[in-house]
C-alpha cells in the first residue's frame, strides 16, 4: 500500500479552476483513485492513531489519517444566514449536504496540537490607523503607512524590498495626484471600461488606482499545504467566494508571481470552509483544532521564509467566507491584528477593521454559471414595492418580520415562501429587495439583488459593505437603520420614480463588479477583491523608511 504522502504529488489538483464544481465529473478516473485511496487510508488510520505529530501542510501531510465519517448533523451551523425559498435550500440543509462523506481528522489534529503557544517575533505591531470610516482614497490614509523595523536579511533582499517599496510609493503618489488635482480629470485611456459617475466615490481615483494595480501588483501564494484544506475551496454554495477566489488566484498568471522576492503581498491559501468540513469535530463546539491549523501553518511559513517575520504579517492576506473566518483568524494574534483579512463576515464589532481588512461579497452560487440569475425588468414591470423571504434569526430580522410579515401588500415579507413561488421571480417583481443581516452581517441577498436589478435595502449594524472604499453604495442602495424598520414603507415611498430609475441604472453599473467569471475579467469580483487588497497594501510600508 502506498504511503499517505503519495497524495501530495497531486499538486495539479490545486490548479483546477472552479469551472466544474465537482472534481469527480471532470476527472472521473482520478476521482475513483482518490476514493480508493481514501478508503484504504481510512483503514490505515485505525493503526496509525499514535503516530507522530501530524501537520496538515507538511509534505508528510496525512490528509489521510482521518477516518471517513458520515455525519448528517448540521446543527453547528445553525448560527447562519439562510434563505428559505419554500424552505428548500436553507443554508443549514446545504451544509448538511456538505457534511456527507465528511472526513473526521480528530486524531491527526489532536496529535499535532502544539500545547504551547507560538512565540512571536519581537516586532512592534503596526500602529493602528485611526480609520473607523472606510473613506479610502483619502490623503491622510494614503500617508498612513506603517514602518517596520529593519530586517536582518541579506543586503540583496533589502535592495529588492526597497525597489518594491519605491514602486508602491510611486503608485501612491500617482493616486494622490488624482485626488489632489480634481481639475485635471483627464480620462485615462482604457481598453474596455472606464469607471465613471456617482456609483463611485471617486471614479478617477479608482481608475488610476486600478490601472496602477494592473501595472504593478504581484501576489505570491505559499506553496505549502495540501488540498483540500489548502489550495482549494468550495466553488458553489453560499461560501463560493472562498473557492472561486482561491482557484482564480492559483491559475492567474498576471498578478501571481512565482518569485516571493518580487511580491507585494503573500497569500495564505487555506479554506476555512474546508477546515470546518474536515477538521472540526461536529458538535464539539471546539474550534481549537481550526485555530491550531492556522497557527501551525504560519509557524511553517515563518520559519521557512523571511517574509512573515519581516512585516509581522502585515503584507500577508487570508480570505474566508465562512461565518467562523474571523474567529479562526484569531488563531494567530498577528494574523488577526496585522494581516489583511478578507472576510464575508465583516462585522466591525468582531474586530473587522475597514482600513486593514477587506469585506468579501457573499455570493450564493448554485451552478457554474451565473447567467440565469443576471438581469431583470424595468421599474414599471415591478409591481411589488419591497420583498424579503428568510429565516427569523439574528438581531434585525425579528423586528422586520414583526412589523411587516402579513401586514401590507406593498411590503411582502415572508419567513417561508409558499410552495411553488420562485424566490428569484419575487425579486424580479420587486422594486426593492430587503437585505437584512441574519446572525452574520453579510447576506447573499445583496449580490442577488444587484444581479436581478432590484435596488437593495440594506439593514444591519456593524457591517462594512463590500468594496465600499470604491463604491458609493448610497447611490444604488437604500441603507435603513434598525430603528427605522417601522418606517420602511414611508422611506421607500419617499423615493421618487425618477430617483428610483436612476438608482436602478446604477445597480446595473455596479453589477459588473460582482460578476463571477471563469476565467476572471477586468473589473469583475475577482479583480475588485484584488484591488481591495492592493489598497490595503498601499497603506503599509515594509522595511525602514529612508
Ligand X SMILES: *[C@@H]1O[C@H](CO)[C@@H](O)[C@H](O)[C@H]1NC(C)=O
- Shortest spacing between CB 176 and ligand X, in angstroms: 8
Alpha-carbon torsion, ordered 10, 12, 18, 24, to 10 deg: -50
Instruction: Report yes or no: 313 and 120 within 8 Å, Cβ to Cβ.
Output: no
- Shortest spacing between CB 483 and ligand X, in angstroms: 14
Nearer to ligand X, 41 or 137 (CB): 137
Nearer to ligand X, 224 or 440 (CB): 440
- H or E stretch including 43? helix 28-47
Nearer to ligand X, 42 or 118 (CB): 118
Q: Nearest to residue 363, comparing CAs of 227, 467, 504, 496? A: 467
Nearer to ligand X, 226 or 469 (CB): 469
> Would you mind telling me the total number of residues written for the chain in this entry?
546
462 binds ligand X (CB under 6 A): yes
Residues in contact with ligand X, shown as a per-residue x/- string from 182 to 211 under the rule CB under 6 A: -xx---------------------------
Nearer to ligand X, 322 or 429 (CB): 322
Q: Which of 171, 312, 365, 441 binds ligand X (CB under 6 A)?
A: 441
If binding means CB under 6 A, how many residues of this protein chain bind ligand X? 29
Bridge partner list, 270: 230
- DSSP annotation of 222 reads -
Using CB under 6 A, which of the segments 134-142, 201-209, 328-336, 449-457 binds ligand X? 134-142
Q: Which of residues 248-287 bind ligand X (CB under 6 A)?
A: none
Q: Which of residues 206-225 bind ligand X (CB under 6 A)?
A: none
- Shortest spacing between CB 68 and ligand X, in angstroms: 35
Distance CA 228, CA 70 (A): 18
Q: Number of H helices and number of E strands within the chain?
A: 19, 12
458 binds ligand X (CB under 6 A): no
Three-class SS of residue 296?
Answer: helix
Cell digits of residue 237:
454554495
Q: Which of 22, 128, 139, 369 binds ligand X (CB under 6 A)?
A: 139
36 CB-contact burial (10 Å; exposed 0-12 / middle 13-18 / buried 19+) = exposed
Nearer to ligand X, 51 or 149 (CB): 149
Sorted by sequence, the CB contacts under 8 Å of residue 535 that are 6+ apart come out as 136, 209, 469
358 binds ligand X (CB under 6 A): no
Nearer to ligand X, 73 or 461 (CB): 461
Distance CA 256, CA 248 (A): 10
Q: Which of 8, 90, 138, 209 binds ligand X (CB under 6 A)?
A: 138
Instruction: Report yes or no: 144 and 82 within 8 Å, Cβ to Cβ.
Output: no
Q: Which of 437, 443, 468, 539 binds ligand X (CB under 6 A)?
A: 437
Three-class SS of residue 156?
Answer: helix
How crowded is residue 208: how many other Cβ atoms within 10 Å of its Cβ? 20
Using CB under 6 A, which of the segments 179-187, 381-389, 450-458, 525-533 binds ligand X? 179-187
Residues in contact with ligand X, shown as a per-residue x/- string from 389 to 408 under the rule CB under 6 A: -----xx-------------
Q: Which of residues 291-350 bind ligand X (CB under 6 A)?
A: 302-303, 306, 309, 347, 349-350
- Shortest spacing between CB 238 and ligand X, in angstroms: 15
Nearer to ligand X, 133 or 190 (CB): 133
422 binds ligand X (CB under 6 A): no
Distance of CA 138 to the CA centre of its chain: 24
Q: Which residue is nearest to ligand X (CB)?
A: 184
How crowded is residue 447: how many other Cβ atoms within 10 Å of its Cβ? 26
Distance CA 86, CA 405 (A): 16
With left for phi above 0 and alpha for psi between -120 and 50, is residue 404 left, alpha or beta? alpha
In the block, cell 514602518 appears at 147
- Shortest spacing between CB 469 and ligand X, in angstroms: 11
Nearer to ligand X, 78 or 462 (CB): 462
Query: What value does the CA radius of gyration of the chain take, rounded to a whole number of Å?
Result: 24
Nearer to ligand X, 86 or 260 (CB): 260
Q: Which of residues 474-503 bind ligand X (CB under 6 A)?
A: none
Q: Which of 52, 53, 181, 367 binds ligand X (CB under 6 A)?
A: 181
Distance of CA 12 to the CA centre of its chain: 23
Using CB under 6 A, which of the segments 84-92, 180-188, 290-298, 446-454 binds ligand X? 180-188
140 binds ligand X (CB under 6 A): yes
b vs e for 219-250, b when ≥16 Cβ sit within 10 Å of the residue's Cβ?
bbbbebbbbbbbbbbbbbbbbbbbbbbbbbbb
Q: Which of residues 50-79 bind ligand X (CB under 6 A)?
A: none
Q: Which residues bind ligand X (CB under 6 A)?
A: 119, 121, 131, 133, 135, 138-140, 143, 177, 180-181, 183-184, 302-303, 306, 309, 347, 349-350, 394-395, 437, 440-441, 460-462
Amino acid at each position: 500500500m502506498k504511503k499517505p504522502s503519495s497524495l501530495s504529488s497531486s499538486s495539479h489538483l490545486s490548479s483546477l479552476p472552479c469551472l466544474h464544481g465537482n472534481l469527480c465529473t471532470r476527472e472521473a478516473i482520478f476521482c475513483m483513485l482518490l476514493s480508493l485511496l481514501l478508503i484504504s487510508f481510512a483503514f490505515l488510520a485505525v493503526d496509525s492513531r499514535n503516530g507522530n505529530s501530524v501537520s496538515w501542510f507538511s509534505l508528510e501531510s496525512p490528509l489521510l489519517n482521518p477516518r471517513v465519517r458520515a455525519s448528517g448533523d448540521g446543527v453547528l451551523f445553525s448560527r447562519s444566514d439562510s434563505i428559505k425559498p419554500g424552505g428548500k435550500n436553507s443554508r443549514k440543509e446545504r451544509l448538511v449536504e456538505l457534511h456527507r462523506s465528511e472526513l473526521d481528522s480528530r486524531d491527526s489534529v489532536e496529535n499535532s496540537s502544539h500545547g504551547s503557544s507560538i512565540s512571536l517575533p519581537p516586532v512592534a505591531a503596526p500602529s493602528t490607523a485611526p480609520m473607523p470610516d472606510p473613506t479610502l482614497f483619502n490623503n491622510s490614509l494614503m500617508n498612513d503607512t506603517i514602518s517596520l523595523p529593519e530586517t536582518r536579511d541579506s543586503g540583496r533582499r533589502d535592495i529588492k524590498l526597497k525597489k518594491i517599496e519605491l514602486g508602491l510609493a510611486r503608485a501612491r503618489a500617482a493616486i494622490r495626484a488624482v485626488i489632489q488635482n480634481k481639475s485635471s480629470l483627464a480620462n485615462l485611456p482604457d481598453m474596455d471600461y472606464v469607471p465613471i459617475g456617482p456609483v463611485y466615490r471617486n471614479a478617477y481615483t479608482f481608475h488610476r488606482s486600478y490601472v496602477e494595480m494592473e501595472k504593478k501588483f504581484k501576489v505570491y501564494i505559499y506553496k505549502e499545504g495540501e488540498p483540500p484544506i489548502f489550495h482549494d475551496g468550495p466553488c458553489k454554495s453560499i461560501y463560493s467566494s472562498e473557492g472561486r477566489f482561491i482557484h482564480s488566484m492559483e491559475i492567474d498568471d498576471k498578478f501571481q508571481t512565482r518569485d516571493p522576492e518580487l511580491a507585494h503581498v503573500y497569500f495564505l491559501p487555506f479554506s476555512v470552509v474546508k477546515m470546518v468540513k474536515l477538521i472540526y469535530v461536529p458538535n464539539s463546539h471546539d474550534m481549537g483544532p481550526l485555530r491550531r491549523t492556522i497557527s501551525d501553518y504560519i509557524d511553517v511559513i515563518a520559519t521557512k521564509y523571511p517574509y512573515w517575520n519581516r512585516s509581522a504579517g502585515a503584507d500577508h492576506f487570508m480570505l474566508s467566507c465562512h461565518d467562523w473566518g474571523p474567529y479562526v483568524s484569531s488563531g494567530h494574534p498577528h494574523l488577526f491584528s496585522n494581516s489583511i483579512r478578507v472576510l464575508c463576515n465583516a462585522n466591525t464589532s468582531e474586530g473587522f477593521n475597514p482600513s486593514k481588512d477587506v469585506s468579501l461579497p457573499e455570493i450564493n452560487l448554485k451552478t457554474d454559471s451565473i447567467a440565469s440569475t443576471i438581469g431583470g425588468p424595468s421599474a414599471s414591470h415591478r409591481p411589488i414595492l419591497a420583498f424579503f423571504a428568510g429565516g427569523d434569526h439574528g438581531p434585525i430580522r425579528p423586528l422586520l418580520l414583526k412589523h411587516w410579515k402579513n401586514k401590507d401588500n406593498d411590503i411582502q415579507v415572508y419567513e417561508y415562501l409558499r410552495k411553488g413561488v420562485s424566490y428569484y421571480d419575487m425579486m424580479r417583481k420587486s422594486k426593492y429587495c430587503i437585505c437584512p443581516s441574519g446572525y452574520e452581517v453579510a447576506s447573499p441577498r445583496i449580490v442577488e439583488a444587484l444581479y436581478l436589478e432590484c435596488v437593495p435595502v440594506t439593514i444591519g449594524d456593524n457591517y462594512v459593505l463590500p468594496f465600499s472604499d470604491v463604491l458609493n453604495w448610497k447611490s444604488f442602495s437604500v441603507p435603513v437603520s434598525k430603528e427605522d424598520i417601522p418606517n420602511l414603507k414611508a422611506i421607500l415611498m419617499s423615493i421618487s420614480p425618477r430617483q428610483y430609475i436612476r438608482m436602478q441604472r446604477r445597480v446595473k453599473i455596479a453589477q459588473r463588479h460582482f460578476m463571477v467569471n471563469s476565467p476572471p475579467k477586468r473589473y469583475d469580483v475577482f479583480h475588485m477583491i484584488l484591488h481591495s487588497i492592493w489598497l490595503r497594501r498601499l497603506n503599509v510600508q515594509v522595511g525602514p523608511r529612508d
